[in-house]
Each structure stands twice: as C-alpha cells, then as structure tokens.
Amino acid sequence: MTGTERGFTFLGYWITDRRVAAVAPSALQTLKNGKARLYER
C-alpha cells in the first residue's frame, strides 16, 4: 500500500477499489497506543 492509494478503513482493514489490504495503518497505530497505555499502568 502506498501513501497515495485512496480507500477507507472498515473493522481494521484498509479497503480500496482494487483490493482489501491486511491491516489498516490506523488500526496498527491504535494498537500501539493501547499497548503503551497498558505498559504505563
């Protein structure tokens, strides 16, 4: 997936007019943020 590819996120998947990518970048960022918050507790 390139930065110029257009699409949308649905249930953690990045969907474009050509294909469904495995995981959306925003879903990965949310996971990383959640892990950091749990680690700080």
Stated as kind and residue range, the H or E segment containing 16 is none
- With a pLDDT cut of 70, the percent of the chain lying above it is 85
Q: What is the length of the chain? A: 41
Task: Tell me the pTM.
Answer: 0.52
pLDDT at 4: 53
User: Where is pLDDT greater, at 13 or 21?
Assistant: 13
At residue 41, does pLDDT exceed 80?
no
Mean pLDDT, the chain, rounded, equals 79
**Alpha-carbon gap, residue 7 to 18, rounded angstroms:** 9
Structure confidence at residue 10 (pLDDT): 83
Q: Is the Cβ–Cβ distance between 7 and 19 less than 8 Å?
A: no
Q: Give the pLDDT mean for 10-34.
A: 84
